[in-house]
Amino acid sequence: DGGITQSPKYLFRKEGQNVTLSCEQNLNHDAMYWYRQDPGQGLRLIYYSQIVNDFQKGDIAEGYSVSREKKESFPLTVTSAQKNPTAFYLCASRVRQGDTEAFFGQGTRLTVV
């Protein structure tokens, strides 16, 4: 079945460590997005990518990095520079051309311990 897969579902990180969240899609979508959600809040855009080997900073990119080496994959690294990384992270993808909606993965809940 086509869809977006985020892994892991739950992730625990020690302070000072980098951690990478996986996002894979088999929908042949061009655009991919990473959002962060804190309790009771909406989605804040971290990074997005329209095509392979290109990506743009969103509204809260500091402390995060991404890569887009393959169309299907858009991993997010939460670095030690991100001071408050505990949150729910959501990956989305959509077709770049035309009026189309974004589809979401099931999310990764990251907790710093």
Binding region for other proteins (CB under 8 A): 31, 33, 35, 41-45, 48, 50, 56, 58-59, 90, 92, 94, 96, 99, 101-107
In angstroms, what is the minimal distance from the CB of 75 to other proteins? 18
CB of 59 or CB of 69, closer to other proteins: 59
In angstroms, what is the minimal distance from the CB of 85 to other proteins? 18
Residue indicated by tokens 């809940």? 109
Looking at residue 87, its amino acid is A
CB of 80 or CB of 86, closer to other proteins: 86
Residue 113 structure tokens:
């311990």
In angstroms, what is the minimal distance from the CB of 6 to other proteins? 9
CB of 13 or CB of 109, closer to other proteins: 109
How far apart (Å, rounded) are the C-alpha atoms in residues 102 and 90?
A: 11
In angstroms, what is the minimal distance from the CB of 13 to other proteins? 20
Q: What is the secondary structure of 83-108 as a DSSP string? A: S---EEEEEEEE-SSSS---EE---E
Which distant-in-sequence residues (6+ apart) come within 8 Å of 109 by Cβ? Answer: 9, 10, 11, 87, 88, 89
